[in-house]
Amino acid sequence: MSPPDTDLILAMLFAKDGQNLAARMAELTPQHWQALLARGREHRFLPLLAHALRECGLWGALPPDVAQQLKTAGQHHTRRALLAQRAMVQLHDILQENGIFHVFLKGAYLAQFAYPQPGLRPMRDIDVVIKPNDLPKAHDLLVTLGYTSPADVDGMVEAFIAQAKHLPGLRTPDGTVSVELHAHVDAPGGPLAGLDAFACPIHRPLAGRMLPFMGLQDMLVHLCVHAASFHSFNNGPLVVSDIGYLLRQPGLDLQAVAARAAELGVARPVALTLALSENCWPSRRNDLPTGEVAVPDTLVANARSMCMDPIEQSKNMAFLADLAGQDSASSRLGAVFHKLLPPRQKLALEFGQARTPLQLMQFHLKRWGRILHHRVPTLARSRKSQDFSQALQRNIALQNWLEGR
């Protein structure tokens, strides 16, 4: 059973008209509700859904079992938020005591300071930027103190600094929270490679400390590009509330946001993500900057659908859309070849440095095994979806527009 249509879920999350919404909710079957809850767990929006329905007076309209599941999800994520808060403070203390400059990104600020309650904005991990020269020291220090990595990154730190945004996640010593150490806001050569998190940080009080966070203008730009360009909106509808709540923060200079986006060459993803948030969010602002960028209504409608697509379906979409955007059969073949046989230094990000030709071949075989046993079945399942071709066309249209084609 599919969940209710995207428009209804977004209306429930960002309720504008409780009376009309109640009538539409009354038509949902128990199967619809269970499918909606499953999608909410996937995209982490159940606590926000419960909050929104309480705020617009519709909590009593929920079936009792659905209300209980939402309540349980809220309690779970409130506990998780407290654990994340503790982990942030501990990490800050460790880095500060060892003279390692750092800045926390996105969710760390949003959950604690932008949302009405931290548990409304579940975090997958804590992102913190550390200057590249200090990253090996920070990584080794945390491992010494009991932080653990699911992957062996010994000897690979430099490869990640040179090619990626961040190292593989480290689990806190108690195993409850994942920490991602970033060398950059974006991978070298990416659209936000020029965004310096240390240029204009802000500080906010937490547990008796003053923690450093990315500046509000840069944070808004980062959120928009992260959603549109990095994830093609497959990171879920929380981007709408992230931006909606961030726009309420005092000191956010929207003209500076427009100038920063133009300077970095990301005016299009910023304009589109702001347009998506404005389209869904219950209150509107008349001073949002779009500069010279006109966002087609069809793209906003596409983004609405994409932010509610199943994550598994979205995993292959960017690659397939990229293939469709190639201008010749040879360039498409080259993209597939690069996927199957990445350069040696790229392969090191997955398996470490190959010390012999035999080990290099073993790494390639492991990669092909992952593709065969994980990506190919995912693609096969996705292609069975009735919405597959439409989802692919939405991704192609997004990539074409972002690239000005």
Q: What is the pLDDT of residue 224?
A: 96
Alpha carbons 51 and 69: distance in angstroms, whole number:
13
Q: Confirm if 303 and 380 have CB atoms less than 8 A apart.
A: no
Q: What is the pLDDT of residue 79?
A: 95
- Ramachandran area for residue 233 (φ above 0: left; ψ -120 to 50: alpha; else beta): left
Q: What is the pLDDT of residue 287?
A: 61
- Ramachandran area for residue 97 (φ above 0: left; ψ -120 to 50: alpha; else beta): alpha
| CATH fold of 98-306 | Beta Polymerase; domain 2 (3.30.460)
Domain map (residue ranges) of the chain: 6-62, 98-306, 311-402
- Ramachandran area for residue 44 (φ above 0: left; ψ -120 to 50: alpha; else beta): left
Q: How many residues does the chain have?
A: 405
Strand partners, 206: 209
- Would you write out the chain's pLDDT as a tens digit for each of its 405 residues? 566 788 999 999 997 767 688 889 999 999 999 999 999 999 999 999 999 999 989 999 999 999 999 999 999 999 999 999 999 999 999 999 999 999 999 999 999 999 999 999 999 899 999 999 999 999 999 999 999 986 655 557 888 888 888 888 999 999 999 999 999 999 888 899 999 999 999 999 999 999 999 999 999 999 999 999 999 998 899 999 999 999 999 888 888 899 999 999 999 999 999 999 999 998 766 566 555 788 999 999 999 999 988 877 666 777 777 776 677 777 777 777 777 778 777 777 777 777 788 888 888 788 888 777 777 777 666 666 667 788 888 888 898 899 887
- Structure tokens belonging to residue 378: 């995912």
Q: What is the 3-state secondary structure (H, E, C) of the chain?
A: CCCCCHHHHHHHHCCCCHHHHHHHHHCCCHHHHHHHHHHHHHHCCHHHHHHHHHHCCCHHHCCHHHHHHHHHHHHHHHHHHHHHHHHHHHHHHHHHHCCCCEEECHHHHHHHHHCCCHHHCCCCCEEEEECHHHHHHHHHHHHHCCCECCCCCCCCHHHHHHHCCECCCEECCCCCCEEEEECCCCCCCCCCCCCCCCCCCEEEEECCEEEEECCHHHHHHHHHHHHHHHCCCCCCCHHHHHHHHHCCCCCCCHHHHHHHHHHHCCHHHHHHHHHHHHHHCCCCCCCCCCCCCCCCHHHHHHHHHHCCCCHHHHCCHHHHHHHHHCCCHHHHHHHHHHHHCCCHHHHHHHHCCCCCHHHHHHHHHHHHHHHHHHHHHHHHHHHCCCCHHHHHHHHHHHHHHHCCC
Q: What is the pLDDT of residue 189?
A: 87
- Ramachandran area for residue 284 (φ above 0: left; ψ -120 to 50: alpha; else beta): beta
Q: Confirm if 246 and 295 have CB atoms less than 8 A apart.
A: no
Strand partners, 179: 126, 170
- Side chain identity, residue 271: A
CA-based Rg of the chain, rounded to a whole angstrom?
Answer: 22
Which residue shows structure tokens 């397939």? 320
Which residue shows structure tokens 């986006």? 261
Going by C-alpha positions, the residue among 83, 84, 77 that lies closest to residue 122 is: 77
Q: What angle do CA 118, 244, 186 make, to 5 degrees?
A: 80
pTM: 0.89
- Structure tokens belonging to residue 233: 């909106």
